[in-house]
Amino acid sequence: MKNSWDKLIQGIREKDIRAMARLITRIENREDGWKTAMTEIYPLTGKARVFGITGSPGAGKSTLTSEIAKELADRGYTIGIIAVDPSSPFSGGALLGDRLRMQQIFTVKEIYIRSMATRGMLGGLCQAARDVIRIMDAFGKDVILIETVGVGQDEIEIVKTADRVMVVCIPGMGDGIQAIKAGVMEIADLYVINKADKPGADEVEADIQAMLSLSSDLEGEVPPVLQTSALKKQGIPELVSALLKNPSDTQKQKVKEEIRIKEEILSLMEREVFRQVRSAWENDGSLQDSVSQVMQKTSDPYTIVKQMLLNHKHR
């Protein structure tokens, strides 16, 4: 088994695209040995720039992501795209809708697209996204784009793994206000008003600028607000230049990186502890006994958990 992992990791070093695809699948599925594989991958990472792209459904994120990728490729960058799709209710896998909308860039050799499902991901989608980012980074991709399905909590957690986060809005949907309601204001590094060829783009920009000026949470550099039309290919070079621009507040970036590392360590620890405790409870039969007690009304879930944790602590 270890030998098969070694071959895939060697394939990553040799920039074998098939090896990368197989490695990502095995890591996502949490096959035996995945942690050791990621330990070997980790020293090869740290070079790629990671950008998160989020916003309400219908904002044209997939088309915009495609245009950003093409512009980056034209500038000589290699790109990895993680498209977080809604899950299939039948298989639990991604529906690949984003891939269909990105079909124009399938044949661009500098671009690699990977879809990930929002449900059924073993070990959690956020951690799986981090792992895929690292594999693409180790492979040698210069820029990694994470495009999410919307602005729910899962999406916010995923884009937090990015160096910079872009929130996409469109005219006519009150996106300026929705951005605050969805909780993305504090993580946005820049705002993009897509479909800006439609009426109302200037009003949306004014709303966002007003929110930024009123926000007491923002310190230092104010996120820029840009207008684009992905379908008409307008404003894309300016957007890419803004994304690639190095933030002037390096201390803020360092703090963000520290928070990301802390959250990942705690997330991995939380899942590992849960896995070990659950395994122990299932193997010694105490979990099934507890279920029976609750069904017979001789105990309740709160008391059960408290007692089981005390018992596990004293083992």
Taking the C-alpha atoms of residue 193 and residue 285, their distance in angstroms, rounded to an integer, is: 56
What's the maximum distance between 2 C-alpha atoms anywhere in the chain?
A: 68
Counting DSSP H helices and E strands in the chain, the numbers are: 13, 7
Tell which residue, 159, 156, 224, has the closest CA to residue 189.
Answer: 224
Taking the C-alpha atoms of residue 68 and residue 206, their distance in angstroms, rounded to an integer, is: 24
pTM, two decimal places: 0.85
Secondary structure of residue 226 in the 3-state scheme: strand
In the chain, at which residue ranges do the beta strands (DSSP E only) sit?
49-55, 79-85, 111-117, 143-147, 164-169, 190-193, 225-227
Q: Residue 217 in contact with residue 52, Cβ under 8 Å?
A: no
> What domains are defined for the chain?
1-44 (no CATH), 45-248 (3.40.50.300), 264-313 (no CATH)
pLDDT per residue as tens, the chain (315 positions): 668 999 999 999 999 999 999 999 999 888 999 999 999 999 999 999 999 998 877 888 888 999 999 999 999 999 999 988 754 433 444 445 555 556 667 778 899 999 887 655 555 678 888 999 999 999 999 999 999 876 666 667 777 789 999 988 888 766 555 555 556 667 788 999 999 998 989 988 888 888 888 765 556 678 899 999 988 989 999 999 999 988 777 787 788 889 889 988 998 898 888 888 888 888 988 899 999 999 999 999 999 999 888 877 766
Taking the C-alpha atoms of residue 192 and residue 51, their distance in angstroms, rounded to an integer, is: 13
Taking the C-alpha atoms of residue 33 and residue 78, their distance in angstroms, rounded to an integer, is: 29
